Amino acid sequence: MTTNGSRPRMVTVRVQRFNPDVDEKPYFDEFQVELTPAKTILDALHEIKTAQDGSVTYRRSCRHAICGSCAMYVNGKNILVCNTPLRDKIDEEGTVTIRPLPYLPIIKDLVVDRSSFWEQYERVKPWLIPSADVPEKEFRMSSEEVAALNKAETCIMCGACYSACQVIAMNKRYVGPHALLKAFLRVLDPRDMAPSERLADVGDQDGVFRCHTIFNCIDACPKDLDPTKAIETLRKLAQKRQAFEAARRDRQRMLNEPIASS
């Protein structure tokens, strides 16, 4: 890259446009944006929307990869645009191509309809089912138990995995990696009172056995989580549910006791 120091380097940002009320099919608009070191793709979109074309439509909120609003398909990969530097996504032609998450109905431009995504999320009963008999203070949990749950707890429900999943692309009845990760979180939580029912729920053909282990979800996850592994764990547990149930009952008898250091 050579610059003469005065002329700004411009990047072409191609944005897929589509308003179903007026457009027959999606098309691309091109915008020129100056490249600066600190600029993220979201900054570029904001610049386009506020200075060039206010009708360019996308979701965003927190700006730092925790709210899950801004997953999009950029140069062929699902990413969060808020924490991705513009400079990292420029292809050989000096272009960045932004499209909505694939396989989901488009509401407008880069905004997709995540209804099926949320339905599956609710289907797995994402809430913990607590004991009716809670201690006065906290349940005791070991740091290892917490560490195992963190691998699911930090999911931001952005939909990047869901929309990268080949099975979802063909069959929206599949529960999907995000909701199975949530089910994993609850099943592995020693405080949950219904792990066995959960395993029965996700242990059917639309659940863990539908995953083809293609690993797209892992590649797509902006938080470096591993839904495939969680699904495999659930699959194994579903296969030996009785032993698992017995182990959970034992654990719950001790849940109000200090963790013994090993």
Partner 1 sequence: MIEHEVIIVGAGLAGSWTAMVAGQRGVKDIGVLSKIHPLRSHSGAAQGGIAAALNNARPVAGTGPRGPLEPVPQGEDPPDSPELHMFDTIKGSDWLGDQDAIEIMVNEAPEIIYAYEHMGCVFSRLPDGRIAQRRFGGHSAPRANYAADYTGHVLLHTIHEQALQHGVEFYSEWYCMDLLVEDNVCRGVVAMDVLTGEIHTMRAKAVMFGTGGYGRAFEVTSNAYANTGDGVAIAYNAGVPLMDMEFVQFHPTGLYEHGILMSEACRGEGGYLTNSEDERFMERYAPDKMELAPRDLVSRSEQTEIDEGRGIGPDGKGIYLDLRHLGAEKIKARLPQIRELAIDFVGVDPIDDPIPIQPTAHYSMGGIPTDADGQVIANADGQVIADADGTPVVGFYAAGECACVSVHGANRLGTNSLLEASVFGRRAGHAIADFVQNGAELHPVTGDPAERNRQRVARLMDGAGSESVEAIAQELKQTMTDDCGIYRDKERLAQAMQHVGEMQERFKDARVMDKSKRFNTDVLAAFETEHLLTFSEVIVAGALAREESRGAHYRTDFPKRDDEGWLKHTVAHKGEPGEGPRLSDKGVNIDWDRFPPQERKY
Residues that bind partner 1 (CB under 8 A): 19-22, 38, 40, 49-51, 53-55, 57-69, 83-85, 107-108, 111, 122, 126-128, 130-131, 134, 136-143, 146, 149-150, 153-154, 156-157, 186, 189, 191-192, 257-259, 261
Q: How far is the CB of 31 from partner 1 (least distance, A)?
A: 13
Question: What DSSP character marks residue 85?
Answer: B
Closer CB to partner 1, residue 6 or residue 260? 260
Question: What DSSP character marks residue 206?
Answer: T
- CA angle 39–164–12, rounded 5-degree value: 30
Name the maximum alpha-carbon separation found in the chain.
71
Closer CB to partner 1, residue 100 or residue 203? 100
What DSSP assignment string belongs to 61-72?
A: -SSSSSS---EE
Q: How far is the CB of 206 from partner 1 (least distance, A)?
A: 21
Q: How far is the CB of 8 from partner 1 (least distance, A)?
A: 17
Listed in sequence order, the residues at least 6 apart from 250 whose beta carbon sits closer than 8 Å to its beta carbon are none
Closer CB to partner 1, residue 28 or residue 240? 28
Q: How far is the CB of 30 from partner 1 (least distance, A)?
A: 17
**CB 113 within 8 Å of CB 105:** yes
Closer CB to partner 1, residue 92 or residue 250? 250
Q: What stretch of H or E contains 99?
A: strand 95-99
Listed in sequence order, the residues at least 6 apart from 232 whose beta carbon sits closer than 8 Å to its beta carbon are 213
Structure tokens, 188: 């592995």
Closer CB to partner 1, residue 101 or residue 167? 101
**CB 35 within 8 Å of CB 51:** no
Nearest to 73 by CA among 58, 54, 51, 55: 58
Closer CB to partner 1, residue 4 or residue 143? 143
